[in-house]
Amino acid sequence: MSETREQILEEIKIQATKSSCSIALQDNTNNKSDNNKTDNNDTDDRGGVSGGVGCAIKHRHLELEKIDEEVSRLLLLKSKLGDEVSQMQKFILKTPKGTRDYAPRQMMLRQTVLDKIVAVFKKHGGEAIDTPVFELKEVLTGKYGEDSKLIYDLKDQGGEMLSLRYDLTVPLARYLAMNKISNIKRYHIAKVYRRDNPAMTRGRYREFYQCDFDIAGAYDAMLSDSECVKIVSEILDVLHIGDYIIKLNHRQLLDGMFEACGVPADKFRSICSAVDKLDKSTWLEVRKEMIEEKGLSPETADKIGEYVQLSGDNELIEKLLADEQLKNIPVAVKGLEDMQLLLKYCNIMGLNGKIIFDLSLARGLDYYTGVIYECVLKAEPKILNGCNEQQDIIGSVAGGGRYDNLVGMFDAKGKKVPCVGVSIGVERIFSVLEAKYAAAGIKQRTNEIEVMVISAHKGLHEKRLSILNVLWNQGIKAEHFYKLNPKLLNQLQYCEENQIPLAVVVGDSELAKGMVKLREISTRKEEDVLLTNLPDEIRKRLQC
């Protein structure tokens, strides 16, 4: 757009140079008639002076026509330029498509939620890392299948081809391989970028936070996997966000089941993607996709259909271990044995009632190789009024699984570092909590000010500053109006509107006694307090 503007400006310059008279470009847009009038007057004057010579007049007229032509041409260009400018100004006052600013109220909620999540991560020994927001394009290439088209690329600016990170898992794998780290429990909270069609009303953005915890290392089966499930449960509990269920499944069991049903091996991943849609589509829709798009026979699809509608607990595992079709397929048996162990460990950690073995769980990403899980929130219809009440699940708030081969893709010798991890769907959690607070009429504060220092009358701003200085040095959160002489009422109203608990009211009569009034905003109770005792008196009241 700026080029277009420059082009127009350039053309104006050229036209102005070509034009046989110099025309001043004026600033306002109402100058068309003015210009014409000026030109006409000018012409009349000149005509009057030089009149009588036909040829000269004709020449003059031609000249005038040319000038008028140039004038209207320039004015047209100018109005175009004006449109451009005003369009640009409209254009500027937005964030890029699919992105948004976070206002203080949202940030406060976010920070509260993230603090609670990080506390859980730390309880389990999590260490933080951070990686650049962009990676070499090659790092991301070939990791996300079809979704690669959603990656944001940067302009080549002389050298490297860079892309914005699409998730935090691939950068972790790159980090582990690059630094030859084979054991870590790391968490990472950062924004990721997907050039998806944003459905912002449904809380889907192109820039959004991910919040991941992963355990890397070659360990005994299911010990780290089950701890990830425990972490999800602890986080959901501490957020008081509502009832939830954690679905568990196993990629090797899925593969074994596909094999048992007669799916060719090269279609395992694409059939897996189809199964993954069962949380949003009916079995009939998924079946149709399997047959018409993915080329399965109706018999094969129906066999799959029987399995993926199963869910349960250890009893189901026992049943499947005895299943004639599955029991001879080693990967299926391996998956089922893992699941058996996983359920046992989860139950030891008090997760019974919160987990379910669900054969319809598939997870979209290609890179999972073992256990997969997904935590879904059960809706509270009174809160989520935009939601279909028939549907008692409002969607996934956490998910993850085991991916044993991803790090090896970055290692020169292909050395594998087995990993299992979980991603907390913080954006959805934020939305749910925002809706919950809004419904409950809870107005969260956006700052943490404890004391407002107030002038009772004029001429006290320096005294306010000196009191504030004492409070700040004592670690008390305090502020004042940045005005020399603010009105007492305005200051008190501000405290009430902003839920500030206390006010120090400074006035000459109290100051003469070395005192100030300490006011409790909610009760409007005031008490004279010695300046020397002020910080202690404030702390005493804040503790109540």
Binding residues for L-histidine: 167-169, 194, 210, 214, 363, 367-368
**528 near 515, Cβ under 8 Å?**
yes
Strands 184-193 and 127-128 come out as: parallel
Report 275-334 residues binding a copy of itself (CB under 8 A).
none
CB 490 to a copy of itself: min, Å: 13
CB of 453 to a copy of itself, least distance (A): 11
Stretch that binds a copy of itself, among 16-24, 53-61, 280-288, 440-448 (CB under 8 A): 440-448
Identified binder of a copy of itself from the candidate list 458, 477, 525, 539, rule CB under 8 A: 477
Which of 54/96 has CB closer to a copy of itself?
Answer: 96
SS3 string of 174-220? HHHHHCCCCCEEEEEEEEEECCCCCCHHHCCCCEEEEEEEEEECCCC
- Nearest to a copy of itself of 209, 368 (CB atom): 209
Count of residues interacting with a copy of itself (CB under 8 A): 100
Residue list, annotated binding site:
167-169, 194, 210, 214, 363, 367-368
Considering the complex, state which of residue 124 and residue 294 has its C-beta at the smaller distance from a copy of itself: 124
Q: Examine residue 533 and tell whether it contacts a copy of itself (CB under 8 A).
A: no
Query: Using CB under 8 A, which residues numbered 68 to 107 contact a copy of itself?
Result: 86, 88-97, 99-104, 107
Stretch that binds a copy of itself, among 175-183, 251-259, 328-336, 530-538 (CB under 8 A): 175-183
Q: Which residues, in sequence order, are bridge partners of residue 518?
A: 504, 527
**Which 194-223 residues touch a copy of itself, going by CB under 8 A?**
195, 207, 215, 217, 219-220, 223
Nearer to a copy of itself, 18 or 413 (CB): 413
287-304 as b/e, with b when 16 or more CB fall inside 10 Å? bebbbeebebeeebbebb
Is there binding between residue 488 and a copy of itself (CB under 8 A)?
Answer: no
Determine contact, residues 203/431, Cβ cutoff 8 Å.
yes
> 48 vs 159, which CB is nearer to a copy of itself?
159
What whole-number distance in Å separates Cα of residue 65 and Cα of residue 389?
Answer: 73
Choice from 58, 415, 443, 483 touching a copy of itself (CB under 8 A): 483
DSSP letters, 226-272, are HHHHHHHHHHHHHHT---EEEEEEEHHHHHHHHHHHT--GGGHHHHH
Q: Are 375 and 279 in contact (CB under 8 A)?
A: no
β-strands 515-520, 526-530 pairing = antiparallel
Contact 373, 261 (CB under 8 A): no
User: Binding to a copy of itself (CB under 8 A): which residues in 404-433?
Assistant: 410, 412
CB 519 within 8 A of CB 526: yes
Q: How far apart are CA 216 and CA 173, in angstroms?
A: 9
430 is written with which tokens?
């934020």
Query: By rule CB under 8 A, what string of x and - marks binding of each residue 235-254 to a copy of itself?
Result: --------------------
Q: Three-class SS of residue 529?
A: strand
CB of 38 to a copy of itself, least distance (A): 27
Which residues, other chains included, contact 229 with Cβ-Cβ below 8 Å and sequence gap of 6+?
A: 246, 248, 342, 346, 351, 355, 373, 422
**Candidate segments 36-44, 50-58, 116-124, 424-432, binder of a copy of itself by CB under 8 A:** 116-124
**Could you tell me the smallest distance in angstroms from the CB atom of residue 248 to a copy of itself?**
17
Among positions 335-354, residues that touch a copy of itself (CB under 8 A) are 344-345, 348-350
Q: Which residue among 159, 353, 386, 441 contacts a copy of itself (CB under 8 A)? A: 159
Question: Which residues 6+ apart lie within 8 Å of 513 measured at CB?
Answer: 528
- Cβ 287 to a copy of itself, closest distance in Å? 35
User: Minimum CB separation from a copy of itself for residue 82, in Å?
Assistant: 13
Which residues between 131 and 150 bind a copy of itself (CB under 8 A)? Answer: 131-136, 138-139, 141
Give min distance, CB of 161 to a copy of itself, in A: 8
Region class of 242: left (phi > 0), else alpha (psi between -120 and 50), else beta = left
Cβ contact 212:421 at 8 Å: yes
Nearer to a copy of itself, 309 or 493 (CB): 493
* Residue placing its CB nearer to a copy of itself in the complex, 177 or 236: 177
Whether 519 contacts 488, CB under 8 Å: no
In terms of CB distance, is 339 or 359 closer to a copy of itself?
A: 339
**CA 260, CA 451: separation in Å to the nearest integer?**
70
Looking at the Cβ atoms of 189 and 394, the one nearer to a copy of itself is: 189
Min separation Cβ 514 and a copy of itself, Å = 18
Task: Kindly tell me which residue out of 36, 446, 499, 517 binds a copy of itself, with binding defined by CB under 8 A.
Answer: 446
Stretch that binds a copy of itself, among 188-196, 253-261, 317-325, 394-402 (CB under 8 A): 188-196
Closest to a copy of itself by CB, 130 vs 306, is: 130
- Helix (H) or strand (E) holding 112, with range, is helix 104-123
Q: Which residues contact 17 (CB under 8 A, 6 or more apart)?
A: none
Complex with a copy of itself: residue 231 or 272, whichever CB lies closer: 231
Burial class of residue 73 (count of CB atoms within 10 Å of its CB; 0-12, 13-18, 19+): middle
Q: Which helix (H) or strand (E) is 439 found in, with range?
A: helix 426-440
- Any contact of residue 61 with a copy of itself (CB under 8 A)? no
Residue 365 engages a copy of itself in binding (rule: CB under 8 A) = no
The binder of a copy of itself chosen from 23, 75, 77, 129 (CB under 8 A)? 129
